[in-house]
Amino acid sequence: MRYKTVYEDCDILVVGGGMGGCGAAFEARHWGRDLRIVVAEKANIDRSGAVAQGLYAINCYMGMRWGENQPEDHVRYARNDLMGMVREDLAYDMARHVDSAVHKFEEWGLPIMRDPETGRYQREGKWQIMIHGESYKPIVAEAARKSADKIYNRIMVTHLLMDENHPNRIGGAIGFNVRTGDLHVFRAKAVIVGAGGASHIFKPRSVGEGMGRTWYAPWSSASAYALPIMAGAKMTQMENRIVLCRFKDGYGPVGAYFLHLKTYTQNAYGEEYESKWYEHTKEMVGEYIDHHPTPTCLRNHAFLMEVAAGRGPIHMVTTEAFQDPHKETVGWENFLGMTVGQAVVWASQDIDPKYINPELTTSEPYVMGSHATCSGAWASGPEDISPDEYFWGYNRMMTVEGLFGAGDALGGTAHAFSSGSFTEGRLAAKAAVKFVRDHARDPVKVSDEQIERRRREIYKPLEHYEIYRNEIVAGTVSPHYILPIHGLQRLEKIMDEYVGGISVNYMTNEPLLKMGLEKLRILQEDLEKVGAEDLHQLQRAWELKHRVIASECVTQHTLFRQETRWPGYYYRGDYMKLDDENWHVLTVSRRDPESGEWTLEKAPVYHLID
Amino acid sequence: MPTFVYMTRCDGCGHCVDICPSDIMHIDPTYRRALNIEPNMCWECYSCVKACPQNAIDCRGYADFAPLGHSVRVRREEEKGTISWKIRFRDGREKTFVSPITTKPWGQAIERLADLPPPSEEEVNSQQLCFEPEALKIEGGLPTISKDKFKQGVYY
């Protein structure tokens, strides 16, 4: 093998340098002054993760200093939006700390808009504050860089490594450098997974040149889930995929439009439509439709029903608000700050929202853990507030010892967004430092055999391609391998058609899910024969493998929950109603790393009592 | 709008290769200049456009749904702390916007935690994070709640 092996022995390894990972690297330094703290990032931390492009709002800020909201209020908001189910201990814990993170961002130079009358942060809505956040990520990355001992950019982490001295304990991580091809072995006493959630597991609406214009970044390749799953960690609420109602084609955000600019939606004939579907929705979900604010999925549901009834497209009425030049500027800068592509779509189609009410659409589903959804790993809460079932020693530690999570990787913590993900990274880091100190005399062992086994797996797509490439004249069609893009498109088609994507109007059922699982199993067999012609394609091959493992988990969870909890996100045709009697629970899964067998169980939901 | 690179402006410096979150900006081995090797994995995040010292990178809207004849140009200036945009519609109309990107001199405002006094044992064993409780800017310290407030069941 022409690639060398680079070893890094550290105390805390952070996998993924997005908002969660940067928060972890920053905080770990404070509590672990003498520890070696290392970050491994797939791209470049200055522009990586979901915030790479920037943001125009911070969607999670309490404003406790001005008495605006308390952590309990945020818990009530998040659980209501997710139809009753979040990890309320984790949500409370994030919410009580998040303001301090936002205040640091402002000190570091992030321009936060102020209300000229009150002098407080300019609110977009009850939870959102408005920022000029084009450089949000580079600013936060600088904080991480000044804290970590070393940042490794361009490392695709493929697997976590296990400690061989203790059962079920983490030993580090392994991956390769996508530029040099070198194998990177990180032996670590604690690992914090801050990797990204999953775009491109369901077929996107745009499948040509524009397939990269997904709502969530195309580089969010489900490593947040695949890495813990492959290590045997338990996962929760993986069925709770999210569908976004956004401006058509560019998926430009609607938050500022609804909340700040006070634009509103109507059908193709200029009619309000949400109230029409009230009785119908009540039949499905009962009194949840009466909650305020209306849960995101139920608003999606009304949108979908109205379009299915033949009265689409749905438009956002902007022509009134955009007569105000200030609001017009906010409307455009909103896109330029975080979704430039929407500005390009409108420029190319001569859509000036001052004169034309733009179309909205519902996106393909995404699996992630920091927006209006909460898929991720089953993790311990903080010792001072968590119920016994939710606490096992270290805050944000998964069910594998020494393995922590933040951001998309953490399950049950909806509505964390950028600031909350950063905060979760901080919480995980403080706990990880404690874990390292408590186990200081207890070294981890990662054998050469374990490393060698992973090394062979990691480079296999390159070797496989090399062996069979010259069997064919040229081109992409081989009887012995598929390319990463082929596998990705097969995955997207399976998930779309069997697990509730756009082409079936988000509908699935038990027979479909079981067929989907079988097809995913065969896809995984074929991925043993994925071919990579270079290091870039090797990265794509591993991203695909991560996506497929996460998809299997999503499908298992969707099969397990026999109800339609989130109409508008997906429907179980065989159980079309919300069922609180049997399913007011969190779903928890584990994949046995040896056998690949899944077990699923119900875990209790604890609610904060008023 | 996947990105593309103008042949006469690119000098092959590789800034775009270093920054691209999707690993799709590469140097062409023949021309020694940058190119987008995988336009369908481009999020149009503009990281490469902003990073290019030669203004050699631009975007052309995705062919699936964006007609030709538009442009969205950007100039990001760290020393000024601003970002400037010019949007040109297919029909020729233009809109321009300028926003701040930072309020502090670039790269100087963030402290090194290693230079601060180390935390006390009491802080280590508390629920506080770094700079808390001061950074919360509230009276009474970090909020907490009794474990008894969490109950199982279908009510709230």
Q: Do B138 and A65 touch (CB under 8 A)?
A: yes
Please state, in angstroms and rounded to a whole number, the distance separating the CA atoms of residues A165 and A370.
34
Residue in A100, A145, A354, A605 to test binding to B, most B beta-carbons within 10 Å: A100
Query: Mean pLDDT score of chain B, rounded to an integer?
Result: 95
Please check whether residue A600 touches B, CB under 8 A. no
Q: Do B64 and A208 touch (CB under 8 A)?
A: yes
Consecutive H or E run containing A30: helix A19-31
Domains of chain A: 5-51+134-241+367-438 (3.50.50.60), 245-362 (3.90.700.10), 448-603 (1.20.58.100)
* Closest by Cβ to A132, choosing from B70, B101, B150: B101
Write the pLDDT tens digit of every residue in B98-125: 999 999 999 899 999 999 999 999 999 9
Please check whether residue A347 touches B, CB under 8 A. yes
If one counts every other C-beta atom within 10 angstroms of the C-beta of residue A68, the result is 17
Structure tokens given for A26: 């920053």
**Is pLDDT of A289 > 80?**
yes
**Is pLDDT of A54 > 90?**
yes
- Say if residues A101 and A23 touch (Cβ distance below 8 Å): yes
Tell me: cis bond preceding B100? Omega within 30 of 0 counts: no
Considering B6, B31, B43, B89, which one is annotated as catalytic? B43
Q: Distance, in angstroms, between A144 CA and closest chain B CA? A: 10
Ramachandran category for residue A157: left, alpha or beta (phi over 0 → left; psi -120 to 50 → alpha): beta
Write the pLDDT tens digit of every residue in A57-87: 999 999 999 999 999 999 999 999 999 999 9
Please state, in angstroms and rounded to a whole number, the distance separating the CA atoms of residues A87 and A216.
23
Q: What would be the CATH architecture of the domain defined by B1-65?
A: 2-Layer Sandwich (3.30)
Residue in B45, B73, B146 to test binding to A, most A beta-carbons within 10 Å: B45
Q: Which residues contact A463 (CB under 8 A, 6 or more apart)?
A: none
Q: Do A426 and B130 touch (CB under 8 A)?
A: yes
For this structure, is B43 an active site residue?
yes
pLDDT value, residue A610: 75
Write the pLDDT tens digit of every residue in A362-409: 999 999 999 999 999 999 999 999 999 999 999 999 999 999 999 999
Write the pLDDT tens digit of every residue in A448-495: 999 999 999 999 999 999 999 999 999 999 999 999 999 999 999 999
Q: Do A43 and B21 touch (CB under 8 A)?
A: yes
Ramachandran category for residue A300: left, alpha or beta (phi over 0 → left; psi -120 to 50 → alpha): alpha
Chain B residue at shortest CA distance from A603: B152
Consecutive H or E run containing A24: helix A19-31
Q: Do A343 and B44 touch (CB under 8 A)?
A: no
Q: What is the mean pLDDT of residues A567-575?
A: 98
Q: How many CB pairs under 8 A join A and B?
A: 286
* Closest by Cβ to A103, choosing from B89, B137, B152: B137
Distance between terminal CA atoms of chain A?
62
Q: How far is CA B81 from the centre of its chain?
A: 14
3-class DSSP state of B110: coil
Per-residue confidence band for A2, with pLDDT thresholds at 50, 70 and 90? confident
Provide, rounded to the nearest whole percent, the portion of chain B with pLDDT above 70: 98
Write the pLDDT tens digit of every residue in A316-328: 999 999 999 999 9
Per-residue confidence band for A13, with pLDDT thresholds at 50, 70 and 90? very high
Q: Distance, in angstroms, between A212 CA and closest chain B CA? A: 4
**Is pLDDT of B156 > 70?**
no
Chain B residue at shortest CA distance from A212: B41
Q: Which residues contact A528 (CB under 8 A, 6 or more apart)?
A: A460
Residue pointed to by tokens 């001061």: B134
Residue boundaries of the structural domains of chain B: 1-65, 113-142
Per-residue confidence band for A1, with pLDDT thresholds at 50, 70 and 90? low
Print burial letters for B83-103: b (CB count within 10 Å at least 16), e (below 16). bebebbbbeeeebebebbbbe
pLDDT value, residue B154: 78
Q: How far is CA A55 from the centre of its chain?
A: 16
Residues of A in contact with B86 (CB under 8 A): none
Q: Give the ipTM of the model, two decimals please.
A: 0.97
Alpha-carbon Rg for chain B in angstroms: 24
- Say if residues B8 and B42 touch (Cβ distance below 8 Å): no
Write the pLDDT tens digit of every residue in B1-35: 599 999 999 999 999 999 999 999 999 999 999 99
Residue in A96, A110, A342 to test binding to B, most B beta-carbons within 10 Å: A96
